[in-house]
Amino acid sequence: MAARAPMGPEPGDTTMARDAGLRRYLGYYMKRGMNVVQADLNATLKPLGLRMITFSTLVVASDNPGLRQAQLANFLSIERPNLVAIIEELVQRGLLTRERVKTDRRAYAIALTPEGRTLLDKAKKAIEAHERRVFADFSEDDQTHLVRLMSKLVRQGSGDPS
């Protein structure tokens, strides 16, 4: 490394600033916090061959047996076209069934197979361990606060004045 110049910062001098300018924004803190959660979540699900969206799909399909894809996409807040490959993957792996609805032959009813149930149970345990790990420093109050604050954001985003 070159010797320090006798006066003033040399190019690339980083005596302090770094990301200080970004720490003025609440959104920056949220992004960094979310990155930590998401990285650990992905690492948690990887050994099970799942991602966040496939895990969520199994959870919602499990809670709403017989759901149609359009409704499933709606509950998952993703576009219908993007759900197609996800469903296809889970059906191919024998985790979901996709059966024609008798009363509407356009639609498919989605449901978990026994194998899907088994994997989902395992994944839920892994996710619960993941949350205990990532939110280890969170008191009960912290957790309540987090849910309250995030819910405020979601209400704000939906234009709901309640």
Partner DNA sequence: TATTGTTATACTCTATAACTATA
Partner DNA sequence: TATAGTTATAGAGTATAACAATA
CA distances 50 to 1, 28, 111, 154, 160, Å, are 46, 28, 17, 26, 33
Q: Confirm or reject binding of residue 51 to a copy of itself (CB under 8 A).
A: no
Q: Which does 51 bind (CB under 5 to 8 A by kind): a copy of itself, DNA, none?
A: DNA
Burial class (CB in 10 A: 0-12, 13-18, 19+), 44: buried
Between 85 and 154, name the residue whose CB sits nearer to a copy of itself. Answer: 154
CB of 81 to a copy of itself, least distance (A): 19
From the list 26, 43, 84, 129, which residue makes contact with a copy of itself (rule: CB under 8 A)? Answer: 26
Residue 43 contacts a copy of itself per CB under 8 A: no
Distance in Å from the first CA to the final CA of the chain: 59
Q: Is 79 helix (H, G, I), strand (E, B) or coil?
A: coil
Provide the token pair at 106.
């356009």
Q: Which of 60, 82, 93, 126 binds a copy of itself (CB under 8 A)?
A: 60
Instruction: Show the site string, 1-20: x = touches a copy of itself by CB under 8 A, - = not.
Output: -x------xxxxxx--xxxx
Farthest CA pair distance, the chain = 83
Candidates 103, 114, 94, 106; CA nearest to 69 is: 106
- In whole angstroms, the minimum distance from the beta carbon of 9 to a copy of itself comes to 7
Q: Which of 46, 80, 98, 152 binds a copy of itself (CB under 8 A)?
A: 152
Residue type present at position 105: R
Tell me if 90 contacts a copy of itself by CB under 8 A. Answer: no
